[in-house]
Structure 1
Amino acid sequence: MDILTAIKTKKVLTSSLFVIIIALAALVFFSLHENRAETIREQESLTATGTVEAKKVTASFKVPGRIENMLVDEGSRVEPGQELARLDTRELSARLSQASGAFDAAKAQARQAGDSVPLTSQQIEAAIEQARAKVAQAEVGVKNARDLYERMDNLYRGAAVSEKSYNDAKNSCELAENVLKEAQAALEQALSARLKVDLAQAQYEAAEGQSSQAGGAVQEARAYLDNTRLLSPISGFITQKNLEQGEMVNAGTPVFEISDLLHTYVKVFISEKKIGRVQLGQDVDVTVDSFPGRVYRGNVVWINNAGEFAVRKAVNEQYDHDIRSFEVKIDVPNPDFSLKTGMTAHVNIIE
C-alpha cells in the first residue's frame, strides 16, 4: 500500500512540475512577445531625447571704459531697455563739452558769414548804381562840352571868337572826356566787385560745412556718452556675469549673458523614415526627469530641410545605407520657470 501511495504521489508531483514548466514557458513566451511588441511600438513612435535650451543674448558695451556701476547680478530678471551697468563718463562728458563749444563757435561764424552775404551784395549794388549815375552824368558833360567845342571851332574859323575862348572850349571838352573815362573805369571796378558776393557766399557755405561737421562731432560725443549705459536687449534672466565693478572693458567684450527662460525649446533629431510624419505646429508632450509625471505641452516650430548623417552606421553594406536624421525644434512655454537649461527632455510628438 505504501508503494502505491508513493507511486501516486510521484505521479502527482511529476504532473505538477510539468504544468509549472509549461506555465513558465508560456509566461516567458508572452513576456518576450510583449517586450518585442513594446520595442516595435517605441521604434515606430515619434519619440526622441534632447536638452532644454533657451535663447541667449550677450550684452556688451559699444565703447571701452571702466565699469563704474553694476546694477544687476546673476539670477536677476531684466526687461528690455533696463539699465544693467554703467561706465565712467567723466572723459566723455568733457569731450561732449568741447564738441558743444566748437559747435556753438562754428554756428556763430556761419551766422556771421551768412549775414555778410546780403550786406556785401547791397553795398556793391549801391556802388554800382552810384558809378552808373556818374557815368551818365559824365556822358552828359561830354556831350555838352563837345557841342560847345564844335560851335567855338566854327566861330574861331570865322574869326568870330578869340583864340582863348576856342582853347577854353577845347580844354573843357578834353576834361569832360577824361571825367567820362574815369567814371567808366569806376563802373567796371564796381561791377567786378560782384565777385566779392560770390566769395562771401563761398565763405558762408564753408562756415556752414564747418558748423555741420561740429554738429556731427557733438552727436558722436552724445552717442558715445549714451553708450556708456548698458541696456538689456531682451526680457530674461542674467545667467552669466563676466566682469565686475571697477574693471576695464573693451568695446564688444561680453559683460552679461541673458537667457529667455520664459520661452524654452528642445531640439531633437528625427530619422528620415519618420520625418515625413512631423509637421510644423504639431503638438508635442515633453517630460523631464526632474519632475516625474509632469507633462509640458509644446509644438513644432522648425524643421531643418537639410539632413545630417546619423551616428548609427549601416549594418549591411549591400542593402542598408547610412540613415539621415533631421533636426526638429520644439517650442516649450515655461511660465513658472521650472524648466532649466541643460535638463534632459524626453519628447513625444503627437500624431
Structure 2
Amino acid sequence: MKNRNKNNDMKKGFQLIALLAVAMLGSCSGGNDKAATEKVDEKPRVKLAEVTARPVEQIQEYTATVEAEVKNNIAPSSPVRIDRIWVEVGDRVAKGQKLVSMDAANLKQTKFQLDNQKIEFKRIDELYKVGGASKSEWDAAKMALDVKETAYNNLLENTSLLSPINGVVTARNYDNGDMYSGGQPVLVVEQITPVKLLINVSETYFTQVKKGSPVTVKLDVYGDEVFEGTISLVYPTIDAGTRTFPVEIKLANRDQKVRPGMFARATLNFGKKDNVVVPDLAIVKQAGAGDRYVYVYKDGKVSYNKVELGRRMGTEYELLSGVPDNSQVVVAGQAKLANGMEVEVEK
C-alpha cells in the first residue's frame, strides 16, 4: 500500500513537470509570435532629399559622320584605255588641273574629221555668198560642222580629265594602261574645306534651330578638342516616321584636320528651361524595361512616379516630367519600397 502511494506521488510529479514544460514552451512561442508581429509592422527606413526646379541649359548631343563638302568621281563617259594617271591618293589638286590622260586615238581621228568639215563648210559658205549654193545646202553643212565640233569637244573632255574643284584625291581605282570599263571611277576628288555633318533633330526643337547658329563639335580622334561649326541648312519638313528633321552643319576646316569619314559629336544649345533636378541616387530603373522611376515622399507615404530624364549633370539628373517642384524624393532604401507604402524617415 505504501509503495502504491509512492508511485502515485511520482506520477503526479511527472505530470506537473510536463505541464510546466508545456507552459514554458507556450510562453516562448507567444514571445516569438509577438516579435514576428512587431517585425512585420516595422516601417521601411528611407533617406530623403529636397528637390526644386532651376534653370537648366537645354543641350542636346548628336552623332554624325564627317562628309566632304563636294565629292567628284573622275571618269570618262565611255570605256577607253587609260594612258596615264598624273596624281596619287592624298595629293591636293586645283580646279582645272589635269588628273588623267585617256587614250587619244579617237580624239585624233575626230580632230582630223573636224578639220575636214571646217574646210567643207568654208567652201559651201563662199559659194552661198555668191549664189553658188542654196540655203538648204548651207544649213546642212553648218549642222554637220556643229555636230562634229560637239563630238570633238566631248572627246576632248573625256580624254583629258580635269579636276572640277579644289580638293584632295581620296581614291584611285586603276593603274596606267588599264581599260576603264565603266565600273568604279578612275579617281575620287573631295573638297574638304569646308566639311559638313548631317544630323537628325527632334521636331520638338524645330522652331529653335536657326541657320547660322553656332555649334560645338568634337571628334573621337581628337579627344576633347572643340571645333566650331555653323548650321548651314535646315530642312523644311519633318520625317513622319522618326519625327525628326535633317540639319546640316559646316566646319570651315581651314587647317584640314577634319577628314571625311571621322566620327563626330555635335552639341546644340537650345537655351535654358526651368526643370526639376534630382540626385542620381533617386533614379530607379524598372527591371526588364527601360523606364525610370523616382519614389516621392508625402504625408508619411511614398508614390512610385515614372519620370522622363533630361541631361545628366555630374551626380544629378534633369527631369523633364514626373516629379513636382519642391518635392521630397527617396535617395536611399528604395529596395524595400512599393507604391503607396508607409515609411520611416531617417534623420
Q: Give the TM-score normalised by the residue count of structure 1.
A: 0.56
Q: Structure 1 residues 263 and 97, CA, compared in 2 at 3 Å: closer, same or farther?
A: same
Alignment of 1:176-325 (within 5 A): 203-227=133-157, 228-249=159-180, 254-308=185-239, 324-325=243-244
Q: Distance in 2 between matches of 1:89 and 1:225?
A: 9
Paired position in structure 2 for 1:52: 66
Q: How many residue pairs were aligned?
A: 223
| 1:140-164 deviation per Cα after TM superposition (whole angstroms, max 9, x unaligned) | xxxxxxxxxxxxxxxxxxxxxxxxx
Once residues 305 and 221 of structure 1 are traced to their aligned partners in structure 2, the CA distance between those partners, rounded to angstroms, is 42
Q: Which has the higher strand share?
A: 2
Q: How far off its partner does 1:330 sit?
A: 0.8
Q: Which of 114, 122, 139 is the equivalent residue of 1:107?
A: 122
**Equivalent pairs: percent with the same residue?**
26
Shift of 1:264: 0.9
**Is the contact between residue 100 and residue 162 of structure 2 (CA under 8 Å) also seen in structure 1?**
yes
SS across alignment from 2:221: coil
Moved over 6 A (4+): none
How has the CA–CA distance of structure 1 residues 287 and 210 changed in structure 2, closer, same or farther, with 3 Å as cutoff?
A: same
CA deviation profile, 1:194-241 (whole Å, cap 9, x unmatched):
xxxxxx5xx432442343134224413431342211111111111112
Q: 1:331 to 1:37 in 2, by over 3 A?
A: farther
Q: Give SS of 1:308's match.
A: coil
- Is this contact kept in 1: 2:107–2:156, CA < 8 A? no
Secondary structure class of the residue paired with 1:345: strand
Contact 1:65 1:249 in 2 (8 A): yes
Which deviations, in whole Å up to 9, do the C-alpha atoms of 1:220-273 show, x marking residues without a partner? Answer: 343134221111111111111222221222579622221111111112222122
Structure 1 residues 48 and 109 mapped into 2: Cα distance closer, same or farther (>3 Å)?
closer
Q: Is the 8 A contact 1:99 1:221 kept in 2?
A: no
**Structure 1 or 2: more helix by fraction:** 1
CA offsets 1:11-39 (integer angstroms, 9 cap, x no match) = xxxxxxxxxxxxxx98xx77xx99x999x
**Deviation readout 1:67-97 (Å, 9 max, x if unpaired):** 1110111111111111110111123212321
Structure 2: 5+ residue runs without aligned partners? 1-45, 272-347
In structure 2, the residue matched to 1:143 is none
Map 1:91-102 to 2 at 5 A: 91-102=106-117
Contact 2:192/2:259, CA 8 A, preserved across alignment: yes
Matching residue of 2:292: none
Q: Which of 69, 74, 87 does residue 102 from structure 2 map onto?
A: 87
CA shift digits 1:289-319 (9 cap, x unpaired): 21123111111111122223576xxxxxxxx
User: Using the alignment, how far apart are the partners of 1:77 and 1:337 within structure 2?
Assistant: 11
- Unmatched runs of 5 consecutive residues or more in structure 1: 1-24, 118-199, 312-323
Kept in 1: contact 2:173–2:184 (CA 8 A): no
Of structures 1 and 2, the larger Rg is shown by: 1
Contact 2:211 2:233 in 1 (8 A): yes
What SS class does the counterpart of residue 116 from structure 2 fall into? helix
Cα RMSD between the aligned structures?
3.1
Q: Which is further off, 97-106 or 293-302?
A: 97-106
